[in-house]
Amino acid sequence: MGHERIVKLQGQLIKKAGVKKSAHGLRKYAATEMAESGGTYNKLKASFGWQSDGMAEVYTRKADKKRLAAAYEKSIPAPLNIIPASKKIIVYFKFLTSQFLESYGR
C-alpha cells in the first residue's frame, strides 16, 4: 500500500470517528506526547519513519526545553514563584547571595 493510500485511509478513518483533526495534526500530537514522555531521538525517528534527523530533533528539543523550564521552576523557593519571569533570575541571585552571607558572614 502506497503512502498516498495510507494518508487517504487515515483521513477517512479520522472523519468516520468524528475527530475534528487532520492526520497530520494527530501525528504531530503523538510525536509531541512521545517526546514529552521521555521518547528518545532514535525512538521518534523509528516510530514515525523519519529518514532525516530534522523532525526528531524538533520534537526532542522542544520537550527538553519544557523539562528544563519545569525543573528550573521547581528549584525556585516558593515565595519567588509570584515574581514575573523576567525578574526571577535577579531576585533568585539576590536570595542566594543573602543565604551565602548569612551562612559565611560578611
What average pLDDT does the structure give for the chain? 77
Q: DSSP string spanning 6-20?
A: HHHHHHHHHHHHT--
Alpha-carbon span 84 to 89, nearest angstrom: 10
Report the pLDDT averaged over residues 1-10. 71
pLDDT tens-digit series, residues 85-98 = 666 677 677 777 77
Give 21's Cβ-side CA count (13 Å radius).
Answer: 8
pTM over 0.75: no
Q: Which of 22, 26, 37, 31 is nearest to 58 (CA)?
A: 31
Instruction: Count how many residues are written for the chain.
Output: 106
Give the per-residue pLDDT at 103. 72
